[in-house]
Chains A and B, each alone.
Chain A
Amino acid sequence: MNNARKQDLPIRSIPFEIADRQSIFAVCFCFLFAIASHFVNLPVWVSLLVIFALAWRSLENLGYLKSVSKWLLIPMVLFGGIGVFAEYWTIVGRDAGLALLTVMTSFKILESRNHRDLLILIFLCYFLIATHFLFSQSILTAVLMVATLVVITTTLVTLNQRDSRVSIKTRLIDSSRLIAMSVPIMLVLFVLVPRIPGPLWGISNEQRGGITGLSDSMSPGKISNLIRSNEVAFRVDFLSDVPAQHQLYWRGPVMATFTGQRWYKLRRNRIDRLNIKSVEPPTKYTVTLEPNGEHWLLALDIPTQLVKDSLINADYQLISLKPINDLKRYTLESRLNSSIGLEEDLEYLNLTSQYPPDSNPQTIKLGRQLALRYKNKSEIIEHVLRMFNEEEYTYTLKPPFLRNNVVDRFLFETKRGFCEHFAGSFALLMRTAGIPARIVTGYQGGEYNQVGNYLIVRQSDAHAWTEVWLQNKGWVRVDPTAAVSPSRIEQGIDNALADERSSFRIKNKNPLFGNLLYSWDSLQHSWNDWVINYDQSKQRSFLKDLDIGIENAGDMIIAMVFLLSSVTGSYWLFSWYRERPCRPERHEILFRRFLRKMSSIGFDKKMAEDNRHFLLRIAESDIEQYERIALVINLYNRIKYGRITDSEKRTTQLAGLIARI
């Protein structure tokens, strides 16, 4: 007895099943779909391995190839692991982790035989979706991943459907419905699951490949390369009035050391107390900075407020404590036209007056002449700016290539240059004339998006200008480019270079689709704001702004449970209504009436008895209306199971017969 019970376990697992051909193809396709857009992020040999594995498994599935033996697979898996390690010198982290996951999934494809293996592969494909987001979180990636999610889920549903007659279209609709039903629940979880600030453990600083942006040194040609990039550097939402275009100087790294060829950034200490004199009201704004792989946070000249996890150094540059490898959003205040460095230390002033004495002799000579000629330092500055403006200097994206004594050759021979040429030679001239000078790199201007009411600053807005130190005035911004090409500063880079390069400005580029493109950029901006940057602080401020009393994690969980139960409750109601029982057909209702009549005269149809046996039982008992009863049962069977065309008429006949019993 006990023994018999034991095998009668009420919980049971389903025995192992061999996967059919169709399922294997579906899973291969699924994997290909999930991995294809990763090929750019993977070493070539891993991509080739994926293609090899998929090709082999498909041919094997068609019967052209034999399966890879287990004894061959084990060393292959080992070599795969070693290969990944040799490639990255690690097996953890984003890139190596992805490569390892891909290699192992490929081998799993080769050895999959049964239903269970395929389900594991499906789960690995779900995991692959997540790895895409470590490389990009853009809207396009999200759209592609939704498609991938549908494909994977369709395959999963197909594997569990066990009905080969169902069309692919129906399957796609079914799984899309499943995903569509998941979306509201996902949204509730996304908004309300209390966020914990990361990271939980150290992550290596793996950068996105090929980031364009400012660098920590400046030499001719560096910024003009940046100008060719259409990429967005950051977007700015102004919380107060938008400053005029010519005031939009976005401060980045400051270069103070000059080697004769290049300008270098000098490491400076943080300052604890801001020493700023300004008469202007503060400008408040929020920057959404695209990842730049560096520590620099761009701020409007001059930032007067710190943001979280950052400091301001003695150059008044805002420095992040962590490298910006993900989109970063911060709100701060700046004051335009403010004076800084009134009490600059002498050592630094000395450093910013130095120049290599053995290169650029002509420039040094001119500087010294100017120092002798003018008493007032501002007169020297004016003289040089006038020189840039009146002589034949040209602001161009394609300056001639210069090698030795770059500043001399630019100032006295070619006279064609880009902002870095002007800023560099101006700063050197100042130093030779005895004025401390340095170069500030960053961005100037930006394009205002009227649709979304924010400013788009692109890499092409990159700029370099100078700051000179004057007694009682501190560091004063002087932009020599403005002297050469005022339109660069007043109207932006694209107007200044209209002849040389097609514009990146949406306004200039696409008069027809302008608004559409602004809307698209605006969408990206909101995406950054609401999706990518939705972290703990955003969550808190959003819920606070809703003003419905959600203040802490406990409230969030209560709200979440409430919303989840209402969503699932409404699903339940909807499906209950949609799938409510079909109204029984007329002959069924009639037959039930007949059965009730029969039971009233003592013939109960047993549950396990079919109509034929029921009739036989009635026949044996020899009752009077046997023939009519036989007619009823036969007619009912014919309507229900037989192929008759005049079922309406027959049903009426059935009603008549039953009424007479």
Chain B
Amino acid sequence: MPKLIRRSIDEWFARHNPPAQGSILLHNRRLYILPTRFGYLFAFLLLVLFLAAINYENSMAFVLTFMLTALGIVSLWQTHKNLLGLEVTLLAPKPVFNGELCEFEFTLQHHNNCIRYAVGLQYANQTPVYLSIEPGGNAKAILKIQTVKRGQFKPKGLFVFTRYPTGLFHAWGWLRFDCPILVYPKPLDNAVLRETLVEQYQGKTATSTIEGDDFAGLREHRTGESLRHISWKAYAQGKGLLTKTFQGHARPSLWIDWNQISEGSIEDRLSYMTSLVIFAENENQKYGVKLPGITIEQQTGTAHKQACMSAIATFQQIDFDEDFEPAYE
């Protein structure tokens, strides 16, 4: 097919199937239907039968020709109906490390009182998965895709298609989901913490209402502080509202600094940084990340970990809209 036509068709499809969040309903404007190769073969068969019927002036051959034509017409409608009104939901894939399988969990559901057979799902060029959906029910499909590259990606269009009941027609919807996929660099197996990265604090850390192991004393309650930390015992003794404070031992804190790690390729350095983030989080140490142009202050916690990991994952990634491609073997 000439490139120009191909491109204009692709653009037309892209314009009419904008990416959507969460779930997409397959309505008339999102559904397409064309004869399959067998549909064309069948049409040719019908033509031959029709000519033979005329030639032999055979009425029953006419009956058969028209019967099969009718079967084609009915199956055109049935194939289209088999997808119409189906709602496809993509559960945002969890971030994975490069080299692991990324799981796309699709839920197909409908409210109609009919069984939908052989609803196929195909992501990129992977082998399609077929599902049957009970009346008013739903079905789940998990597509597992091998990751080959760290970074943030957008999922490619998913094909939801069917050829039920006769295989003469191929009805499909092209669903694009607007949810980013994060692939972290693969952590190193034998990461060793280097001294240069560690910042030692002497003595005790500042008192805090939340952190720390040792009780440090009571102080005046300030509005806005959580009620959980009020010493109800002191309140009961009539001392007014007092807040409990704690103090912990000083812990070493880290700066995971791009500039301090000099050996290896960019990917190796990022992998090392990733392992350090995981290590630090497991050790409950405070850590921050320094990348050229990006600095994430020292902190701990799941949200902090995710922020650091995604900063490392997308480091120097030029095209954020890159399609998420499965690995081909």
Contacts and interface: CB of A to CB of B under 8 A. Distances in A.
Interface of A: 1, 4-5, 7-15, 94, 119-120, 123, 126-127, 129-130, 133-134, 137, 141-142, 145, 149, 153, 156-157, 159-163, 165-166, 174-175, 178-179, 181-186, 189-190, 193, 195-201, 203, 326, 531-535, 564, 568, 571-572, 575, 578-582, 584, 606-610
A190 B130 CA distance: 37
A572 B77 contact: yes
B159 interface: yes
23 contacts: A4-B322, A4-B325, A5-B7, A5-B10, A10-B174, A13-B36, A14-B120, A14-B128, A15-B128, A119-B38, A123-B45, A134-B56, A153-B71, A157-B166, A160-B165, A161-B164, A185-B69, A185-B73, A186-B63, A190-B66, A606-B21, A607-B23, A608-B90
Interface string B181-207: 000000000000000000000000000
Interface string B275-315: 00000000000000000000000000000000000000000
Given A9-B10, A161-B164, A532-B60, 11 more contacts: A7-B124, A7-B125, A129-B64, A161-B118, A178-B166, A185-B69, A199-B55, A200-B54, A578-B113, A606-B22, A607-B21
Contacts of B166: 153, 156-157, 160, 178
Contacts of B73: 182, 185, 564, 568
B216 interface: no
Given A198-B57, A203-B56, A580-B112, A126 B68 contact: yes
B135 interface: yes
B70 interface: yes
A1 B23 CA distance: 26
A198 B78 contact: no
Contacts of B69: 185-186, 189
By CB atoms of chain B within 10 A, which of A162, A531, A578, A606 has the most?
A162
Contacts of B251: none
Contact of B58 (A134, A568, A579, A606): A134
Interface string B151-188: 00000110101011111000010100001000000000
B232 interface: no
Contacts, number: 214
B229 interface: no
B37 interface: yes
B89 A186 contact: no
A185 B70 contact: yes
A572 B128 CA distance: 29
Contacts of A13: 36-37
By CB atoms of chain B within 10 A, which of A10, A129, A145, A568 has the most?
A10
B210 interface: no
B151 to A, nearest CB: 14
A162 B70 CA distance: 24
Nearest to B129: A162
A571 B73 CA distance: 12
Contact of A580 (B41, B113, B128): B113
Interface in B1-58: 7, 9-10, 13, 17, 21-23, 32, 34, 36-38, 41-42, 45, 49, 51-58
Contacts of B57: 197-199, 326, 535
Given A14-B128, A161-B118, A133 B61 contact: yes
B101 interface: no
Interface of B: 7, 9-10, 13, 17, 21-23, 32, 34, 36-38, 41-42, 45, 49, 51-71, 73-75, 77-78, 81, 89-92, 111-114, 117-118, 120, 122, 124-125, 127-128, 130, 132, 135-136, 156-157, 159, 161, 163-167, 172, 174, 179, 319, 322-323, 325
Contacts of A326: 56-58
Nearest to A179: B71
Nearest to A193: B66
Contacts of B36: 13
A199 B56 contact: yes
Contacts of A572: 77
Given A123-B38, A198-B55, A532-B60, A160 B136 contact: no
Contacts of A119: 38, 167
B42 A10 contact: no
Given A8-B323, A10-B9, A161 B64 contact: no
A121 B170 CA distance: 20
A130 B322 contact: no
Given A10-B157, A607-B23, A568 B77 contact: yes
By CB atoms of chain B within 10 A, which of A145, A165, A568, A579 has the most?
A579
Contacts of A531: 59-60, 63
Contacts of B111: 581-582, 584
By CB atoms of chain A within 10 A, which of B89, B174, B179 has the most?
B174
A212 B71 CA distance: 39
A127 B10 contact: no
Contacts of B21: 606-608
A656 B156 CA distance: 44
Nearest to A97: B52
A186 B136 CA distance: 33
B152 to A, nearest CB: 15
Contacts of A123: 38, 41-42, 45
Contacts of B22: 606-608
B34 A11 contact: yes
Contacts of B53: 130
Contacts of A1: 319
A190 B45 contact: no
Given A129-B64, A186-B70, A163 B117 contact: yes
B91 A190 contact: no
Contact of A130 (B49, B71, B89, B157): B49
B55 A610 contact: no
